[in-house]
């Protein structure tokens, strides 16, 4: 399901003394089945941008097209309920959105609201708690008795229960310990690969962007600054530094190694694993010369 922004602008409190432009001149196409990372500092427009993806916010000018749904500025847009089923949003600290008596009821709420039979929703809940790394025995517990990390997983399961075609992740691992962060990011990536779900990840973590994303979109002061494949964007060091962004640590390592050894690797290494793999032929060549 392709998503297109065409000359989109959004102003908060338009027509009042408190009017503020948060997004402007936004032209962007996000292709189906891809993994995108949206990067930018606070105030760059990231939160406003993602709320346009499922109609939580509507443009004050321009159009947003999500699959067959077209949201036009100044018009009453119908079908937003079905759009919100197709585009699931995991906000920062989604556990704050939990409200039901039990974990099972919380996960079942969305599907049942769209007409899924209760028994089918319960089966889906069993499947999803396992997917997000929890045991089935949490289903009968109150979500408010769980740890913060467990509550986060329950909230994510509730979004996944809607079986969205597009999954929007707004700093989904904020506040979690490193192990929890790693497990969740791997789970999202597996979902992307196995189910062909389009992922749109909002993150400050350049390492996560480098490891998981196919494409990067850099926002700056309310508009698109640059976009491209992950390798293309991370090859533009000066462009990134101009807006206060840095390269992933792996690329810094690569640059230092290339300078030290007097070599040039064939491509940017976006993970430590790929850097190690790229270095093997050079290291083997050096060992053979030593013999």
Residue 238 has pLDDT above 60, yes or no: yes
Angle at 188 between CA 108 and CA 175, to 5 degrees: 85
Residues in the chain, overall count: 291
Q: What's the predicted TM-score (pTM) here?
A: 0.90
For residue 227, give the 3-state DSSP assignment: strand
Q: Is the pLDDT of residue 286 over 60?
A: no
Integer Cα distance of 105 and 286 in angstroms: 61
| Bridging pattern class, strands 35-39 and 198-202 | parallel
Encoded tokens for 58: 């509507």
What is the per-residue pLDDT across 168-190, written as a single tens digit (0 to 9) for each? Answer: 999 998 888 888 889 899 999 99
Distance CA 55, CA 77 (A): 9
List pLDDT tens digits, range 239-265.
Answer: 999 999 999 988 888 888 888 888 888
Report the pLDDT value the prediction gives residue 180, as an integer from 0 to 100. Answer: 86
pLDDT in tens, 203-229: 988 999 999 999 999 999 999 999 999
Q: Are 131 and 157 in contact (CB under 8 A)?
A: yes
> How far is 265 from 250, CA to CA, in rounded Å?
13
**Residue 55 near residue 86 (C-beta atoms within 8 A):** no
């Amino acid at each position: 399901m392709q998503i297109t922004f065409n000359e989109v602008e959004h102003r908060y409190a338009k027509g009042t003394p408190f009017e503020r432009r948060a997004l402007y001149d936004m032209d962007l196409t996000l292709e189906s089945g891809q993994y995108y990372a949206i990067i930018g500092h606070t105030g760059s427009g990231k939160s406003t941008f993602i709320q346009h993806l499922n109609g939580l916010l509507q443009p004050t000018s321009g159009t947003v097209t999500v699959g067959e749904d077209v949201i036009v500025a100044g018009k009453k847009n119908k079908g937003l309920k079905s759009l919100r089923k197709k585009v699931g949003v995991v906000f920062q600290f989604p556990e704050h959105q939990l409200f039901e008596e039990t974990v099972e009821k919380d996960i079942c709420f969305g599907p049942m609201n769209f007409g899924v039979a209760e028994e089918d929703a319960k089966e889906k809940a069993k499947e999803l708690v396992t997917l997000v790394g929890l045991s089935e025995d949490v289903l009968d517990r109150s979500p408010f008795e769980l740890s913060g990390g467990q509550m986060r997983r329950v909230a994510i399961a509730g979004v996944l229960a809607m079986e969205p075609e597009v999954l929007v992740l707004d700093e989904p691992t904020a506040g979690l310990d490193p192990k929890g962060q790693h497990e969740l990011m791997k789970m999202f990536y597996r979902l992307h690969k196995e189910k062909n779900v389009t992922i749109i990840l909002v993150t400050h973590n350049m390492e996560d962007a480098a490891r998981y994303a196919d494409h990067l979109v850099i926002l700056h002061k309310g508009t698109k600054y640059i976009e491209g494949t992950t390798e293309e964007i991370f090859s533009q060091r000066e462009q990134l530094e101009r807006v206060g962004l840095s390269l992933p640590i792996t690329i810094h390592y690569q640059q230092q190694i290339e300078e030290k050894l007097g070599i040039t690797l064939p491509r940017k290494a976006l993970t430590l694993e790929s850097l190690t793999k790229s270095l093997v032929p050079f290291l083997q060549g050096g060992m053979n010369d030593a013999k």
